[in-house]
Amino acid sequence: MDATDASHRRSDGPAAASTPRPGQARRNGVEHDDGIVDVWRLAARLWPALRALGYRSGTLGGRGGDADILAGRPPDQRRHDGLDALARARREAFGSFVAQIPARYPHVDITIRHQARDLVTMPEHRGRLDVVLQGVPFKQWTCPPGAARIFAQHATDFLRGGLLLTRRGGISINLVHQQFLDAPTPGLRRQIARRADLVGALRLPPRPVPGHPMGHEPAPPVDVVVLRRRPLGAARPTHTFVDLATTTVDGHTTTLNGYYARHPGNVLGDLVPGRKGHPTMLAPVADREGLGVQIEHALARMVADATRRGLTAPGFQRPPEPAQRHEPGLGL
């Protein structure tokens, strides 16, 4: 990110002294789920990027598994609401909650109000949230042959629901099964493109399966899909994520979402030929700390690209770039 983002990151970004390191929760014995640590690793890079796009205040909504971690709440804080309350919320409403976006990161002071139902069924929240975070159920399920449409439809319905919760110009971040972006037919993606602009997407690789060699068939990757609900009257751009592109993987011709074909650096890992309904997969990656650095770099590129395209929070004005100072005597 630029100097402005770097300065902001020193104050409330993942490099701040108060920020727990990814994996700290496991060392403290609070959490033992590697998936939760991965979501925290993503959140630690996501929130500085959201702030750089102007989403620094407002009302936050969460839906689905681990959305509280994605909100920037450190994993060792997730028990503070009580296990019974959290379990009840998960059973009744996929963990739906609303909160105010805290001024600083990490969000150790975030006050999460669990909802008794899914947010999309509650009219008081529709069209009123500035940021919506969603962990789409079944995001890591293997897609059997012939079920690609079902998985893509499920993801599309969830994404559409999140968009309807956001204000015009609001943003939604979704952890979703790869079939939303890779389904052969573009119709479902067109439904989303009618309402929203794609800020960007990341494809995250799975972990190695214990007891299996690295060449073992990988699990489906997780896509991080960032969407901005289009303000009224805004022009609808040409979306590269609607259509698929042809690519070559290990000598085999296959397809990949057009956005990833244009932004290969956002596919965080090595593509391998897919099976069981997936055109492409990602090889498992054991170095999750290194993956965190890749996420940070990819989000920085996403912020720069979205800023150029005007996909920032409504009314947000980026601070002017600081004037460069030239040292005398250097011939500059």
Predicted confidence (pLDDT) per residue in 284-322, tens digit: 898 999 999 999 999 999 999 999 999 999 988 765 555
Percent of the chain clearing pLDDT 90 (strictly above): 47
For the chain, the distance separating the N- and C-terminal CA atoms, rounded to the nearest angstrom, is 25
Distance CA 143, CA 154 (A): 12
Return the pLDDT at 119: 93
Worst-scoring range by mean pLDDT, 87-91, 103-107, 268-272, 288-292? 87-91
Q: In what order do the strands lie in the sheet with 59-64?
A: 113-114, 97-100, 59-64, 129-135, 166-177, 222-229, 196-204
- Please provide the average confidence, as pLDDT, over all residues in the chain: 80
Residue 216 pLDDT level (bands cut at 50, 70, 90): low
Worst-scoring range by mean pLDDT, 44-58, 160-174, 238-252, 294-308? 238-252
Reduced to 3 states (helix: H, G, I; strand: E, B; else coil), residue 268 is: coil
Higher pLDDT, 22 or 75: 75
Distance CA 40, CA 154 (A): 25
Worst-scoring range by mean pLDDT, 175-184, 204-213, 231-240? 204-213
Burial of 153 by CB count in 10 Å (0-12 exposed, 13-18 middle, 19+ buried)? middle
Q: Does residue 65 contact residue 135 with C-beta atoms inside 8 Å? A: yes
Residue 253 backbone phi and psi in degrees, to 5: -80, 130
Return the pLDDT at 94: 60
